[in-house]
Amino acid sequence: MFALLYIFYLPTATVNAQEVAPKFSKHEIGFSWGAFPFVGIGEVTPTMGLFRIPESNRMGHFYHIRKGKNFEKMYHYGAYNLNYNYHIDQKNSIGAIFSWTGKHIEKYWEYKPDDIVDGRGWKHYFTLQANYRRTYYRKDDISLYWGIHYGFTYAVRDRSILTEEPRIFWRGHATTDVRTYFQETLHLSIFGIEAGENNIFNIEFGIGTQGALKIGYKRKF
């Protein structure tokens, strides 16, 4: 009798287990906006160390003005981020993120009597980074995570805010084309929280190119 009950019960139990097993979505795309980004962990030049954050590349302020003989005013709208992640399992994922930050600059600056900048324009920061993310807590539709991102930033500046003097960029190579340069960049996601199953809203605190306070939306599929 028990053998017959077991034979008839086993297929039903297997089907029920398959029905209630949660679906694991491996792919994720998302968009986020970050406040107070730092553009760069340092330029590799003879005068700056690799991991020093130079004053000229700090983007934490939304608005800044310096008055005097040399005048400079700048503002930006934060960092805009587009990301893709592949979930290896429920805790570990890898992916890539593309970020843009634009800084508007208006300045009058006398570097030398015959080397003066008097204009306004934009400095654009385009960043591409690979990332690793670790989810250390998950319950219902709430999860907590941390992550690390590493890659490169490509900076492009309008000629109206540049001098004609040669500058030194990227591993000590001098160039007269001061409009563009590369630098290594880093972002640390110190604490992140997500809410949702497939349509996910998240808030994240960190430091780096994507912003110290980041809010966004993600879609898992």
Which DSSP string do the residues of 140-179 spell out, in sequence order?
TTEEEEEEEEEEEEEEEE-GGG--SS-EEETTTEEES-TT
Q: What is residue 159's predicted lDDT score, i.e. its pLDDT?
A: 75
Domain count of the chain?
Answer: 1
> Does the residue 2 lie in any domain?
no
Let me know: does 102 contact 125? Beta carbons within 8 Å.
yes
Q: What is residue 165's predicted lDDT score, i.e. its pLDDT?
A: 57
Bigger pLDDT: 186 or 178? Answer: 186
Q: Which domain holds residue 82?
A: 30-220
Q: What is residue 53's predicted lDDT score, i.e. its pLDDT?
A: 42
> Does the residue 99 lie in any domain?
yes
> Does the residue 20 lie in any domain?
no
> Does the residue 137 lie in any domain?
yes
pTM over 0.75: no
Decide if pLDDT at 39 tops 70: no
**Residues 160-181: pLDDT tens digits?**
777 665 555 444 444 444 567 7
Least confident of 107-116, 159-168, 185-194, 196-205: 159-168
Q: What is residue 2's predicted lDDT score, i.e. its pLDDT?
A: 47
> Average of pLDDT values for 62-87?
79
> Does the residue 185 lie in any domain?
yes
Query: Which range in 98-102, 153-157, 191-195 is most confidently predicted, on average pLDDT?
Result: 191-195
Let me know: does 220 contact 198? Beta carbons within 8 Å.
yes
Q: What is residue 155's predicted lDDT score, i.e. its pLDDT?
A: 82
Residues 6+ apart with CB under 8 A from 188: 147, 148, 149, 206, 207, 208
Bigger pLDDT: 56 or 189? Answer: 189
Length of the chain: 221
Decide if pLDDT at 72 tops 60: yes
In the chain, the percentage of residues whose pLDDT exceeds 70 is: 64
> Does the residue 189 lie in any domain?
yes
> Does the residue 66 lie in any domain?
yes
**Residues 91-109: pLDDT tens digits?**
999 999 999 988 887 877 6
Q: List beta partners, residue 200.
A: 218
Sign of the Cα torsion 159, 160, 162, 166 reads positive
Query: Which range in 108-122, 141-155, 162-176 is most confidently predicted, on average pLDDT?
Result: 141-155
Angle (nearest 5°) at CA 57 between 174 and 165: 30
Q: How confident is the model at residue 121 (pLDDT cuts 50, 70, 90)?
A: confident
> Does the residue 93 lie in any domain?
yes
